[in-house]
């Protein structure tokens, strides 16, 4: 087995760790800003649409309580997906 910079001696870990250890001079941010992602805008638009449907005066719409539940579920889903997207990814500084 060849030694890779940052190799911990454990198989399969060295190359991954070397990717992070070779750039100690902060050339990277973690990920894009949240407002620059399509996931944010889609989640925002869907949340607004759900709340508009909940507060519309027709009998076919969802209840206000269900609307807030769905909007909360959309927000939680966005936060989880954003957390997964940020895990271990980097973006070069401009």
Task: Look at the chain and report how many structural domains it folds into.
Answer: 2
Percent of the chain past pLDDT 90, that is, above it, reads 28
Question: CA 33 → CA 5, 19, 60, 62, 91, distances in Å?
Answer: 30, 22, 38, 33, 10
- Kindly state the DSSP code that residue 10 receives in the 8-state scheme: S
Positive or negative torsion for Cα 31, 36, 42, 43: positive
Residue 88: predicted pLDDT: 67
For 13, the domain range is 1-27
Residues 23 and 38 in one domain: no
Residues 36 and 49 in one domain: yes
Q: Tell me the per-residue pLDDT of 54-87, one tens digit each, with 9 for 90 and over.
A: 998 777 778 899 999 999 999 999 989 888 877 7
């Amino acid at each position: 087995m060849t030694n890779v910079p940052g190799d911990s001696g454990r198989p399969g870990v060295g190359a991954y760790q070397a990717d992070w250890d070779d750039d100690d001079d902060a050339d990277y941010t973690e990920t894009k800003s949240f407002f620059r992602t399509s996931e944010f805008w889609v989640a925002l638009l869907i949340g607004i649409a759900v709340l508009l449907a909940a507060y519309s005066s027709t009998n076919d719409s969802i209840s206000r309580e269900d609307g807030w539940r769905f909007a909360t579920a959309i927000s939680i889903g966005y936060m989880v997906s954003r957390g997964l997207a940020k895990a271990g990814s980097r973006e070069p500084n401009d």
